[in-house]
Amino acid sequence: MLLGAIEAGGTKFVCATGAENGQVSDRISIPTTTPTETMTAVDDYFTTHPVDAIGIGSFGTIGVNPDDPKYGYITTTPKPGWGDFDFLGHLKSRFNIPLYWTTDVNEAAYGESMIGIAKDVPNSIYMTIGTGVGAGVISQNHIFNGRTHTELGHMRLNRLPGDDFKSNCPYHDICLEGLAAGPAVGKRTGKAGKDIPVDDPVWPIIADYIAQACVNLTVAFAPDKIILNGGVMNQRQLFPMIREKFAAYLNGYEEVPPLDDYIVPAGLGNNSGIAGGLLLAQVALKNA
């Protein structure tokens, strides 16, 4: 049995084939241009690499409620041409196989929960902090959705005293994405994250906001583990700062696992999403 996965990002699509255990056997990277160009390349890949099912994780916002007329669509996005695009419908019209449809962060969260750093616990949250901020919640080994998928990057935070940075989010003045995602770090410093010294004063500010978010996730979802990934989290010096601030903000209110095992980097690195897609393809096959 050969499974397929699509990690559909705003910059690139990764398509892959692999096994039930999430191990990739082949992959290709496709630039995200127009839906016609990009999806033609996706179609060509899976035509020449036939699979039994495909797990898809997409950028969005997307429709994840099967009862919604926009189920399977990318609904709203600043990416030109992709708004109101029927992603799932396109694939169904070309491949008569089971498909699993979710967000890109849910896909990565599932990968980490099944074969990554959270494989030994039933409840985890995967949060990527890069160009934007997104998070997927795993509850009792299943992807959590409510009326729609979570948008945890837009939780409100307490602005730090003296921090007069204008939020980079056009919708919210004090959300995590607007204050601490990669573009916000760049605007705060005038530099790319990789060029900012590890002892730069911007990093304690970013760590503080991420710690506040981790407290919110803890009291809202009670996870066994919070996994932080993405370009900003390549700054490994952030982890001890986040844990220290988290402990101060939670202030002993509830018991959590030891923080070195609770707020952690991704176990699968950049493969979290594509591995999760292969595993979700297996779920789709079982549910067919």
Listed by start position, the domains of the chain span 3-103, 117-266
Asked if domains 3-103 and 117-266 share a fold, the reply is yes
Looking up tokens 């196989």 gives: 97
pLDDT at 60 over 90: no
Give the pTM. Answer: 0.96
CA 139 and chain centroid, separation: 16
Q: Three-state SS for 133?
A: strand
pLDDT band at 194 (very low <50, low <70, confident <90, very high): confident
* pLDDT above 70 coverage of the chain, percent: 100
Closest by CA position to 109, among listed 258, 284, 228, 233: 228
Across 154-163, average pLDDT: 98
Planar angle of CA 53, 59, 60, nearest 5 degrees: 115
3-7, 48-52, 90-94, 130-134: range with lowest mean pLDDT = 130-134
Looking up tokens 């900003």 gives: 232
Q: Superfamily assignment of 3-103 in CATH?
A: ATPase, nucleotide binding domain (3.30.420.40)
* pLDDT for residue 193: 86
Closest by CA position to 248, among listed 217, 214, 206: 214
**Using one digit for the tens of pLDDT, what is the confidence trace for 3-56?**
999 999 989 999 999 999 999 999 999 999 999 999 999 999 999 999 999 999
Q: What is the mean pLDDT of the chain?
A: 96
pLDDT at 79 over 90: no
117-266 belongs to CATH 3.30.420.40:
yes
Strand segments, DSSP code E, in 199-274 are: 225-229, 263-265
pLDDT band at 208 (very low <50, low <70, confident <90, very high): very high
Q: Which position has the higher pLDDT, 77 or 240?
A: 240
